[in-house]
């Protein structure tokens, strides 16, 4: 057992249980909560989720969670956003209107353009939206979250919107889907994964374990 307790934020989004099971699989204890006071007192926080940015923020506000998250982050608590949870870390999204995010990492979330072409220059192929399936990670910086992750390792993605950080230094890894986009981000004690680690086999579990152990 890793002897670490992960506080996972339940704000009504889907896919939370599968993320919970992935952390439990690597030996972490998971406390699932929508209580702001539990979030404020957490040692490590995870914000998972699948769905739309606007409804995700609405779920957080309905439970009075944004202020609690901000306080925990300011206290230095390690914080991991997964999939839509990563997108919610940013200032705003234009998914179905303009919605304000948590503002923990500066930048915005926007949709992949419709005219994306394959990065493979030997073929001419339009890329489908959403970006769905296996794609490669290209680490940009050494960071404890990506210990043991090599350039070209694969992770599993399902998303139509991508994060565009204001500072390139916030990008820990890029992934190419017609153009390079930020697939792993970090700023101080806040980090995010655009892909689904619970569906990314050994690489995904390794990254979750890195978060738990650091």
The residues that are catalytic are 83, 196, 198
Residues in the chain: 214
For the stretch 174-200, what's the b/e string if a residue is b when 16 or more beta carbons lie within 10 angstroms of its beta carbon?
A: bbebbeebbbbbbbebbbbbbbbbbeb
Q: Report yes or no: 55 and 11 within 8 Å, Cβ to Cβ.
A: no
Contact 81, 88 (CB under 8 A): yes
Phi/psi-derived region of residue 201, left when phi > 0, alpha when psi is between -120 and 50, beta in every other case = left
Task: Encode 192-203 in three state secondary structure.
Answer: EECCCHHHCHHH
Lookup result for tokens 């339009």: 126
SS3 label, residue 145: helix
Beta bridge partners of 90: 105
d(CA 107, CA 105): 6
First to last CA, the chain: 15
């Amino acid at each position: 057992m890793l002897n670490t307790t992960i506080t996972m934020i339940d704000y009504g989004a889907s896919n939370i249980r599968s993320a919970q099971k992935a952390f439990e699989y690597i030996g972490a204890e998971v406390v699932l909560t929508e209580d702001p006071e539990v979030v404020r007192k957490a040692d490590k926080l995870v914000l998972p989720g699948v769905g739309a940015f606007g409804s995700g923020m609405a779920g957080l506000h309905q439970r009075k969670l944004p202020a609690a998250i901000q306080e925990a982050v300011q206290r230095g608590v390690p914080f991991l956003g997964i999939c839509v949870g990563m997108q919610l870390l940013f200032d705003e999204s234009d998914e179905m209107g303009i919605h304000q995010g948590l503002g923990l990492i500066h930048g915005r979330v926007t949709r992949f353009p419709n005219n994306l072409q394959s990065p493979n220059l030997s073929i001419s192929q339009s890329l489908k939206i959403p970006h769905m399936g296996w794609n490669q990670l290209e680490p940009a910086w050494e960071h404890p979250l990506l210990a043991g992750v090599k350039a070209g390792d694969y992770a599993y993605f399902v998303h139509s919107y991508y994060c565009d950080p204001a500072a390139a230094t916030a990008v820990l890894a890029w992934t190419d889907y017609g153009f390079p986009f930020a697939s792993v981000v970090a700023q101080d004690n806040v980090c995010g994964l655009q892909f689904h680690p619970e569906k990314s086999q050994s690489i995904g579990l390794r990254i979750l374990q890195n978060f738990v152990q650091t």
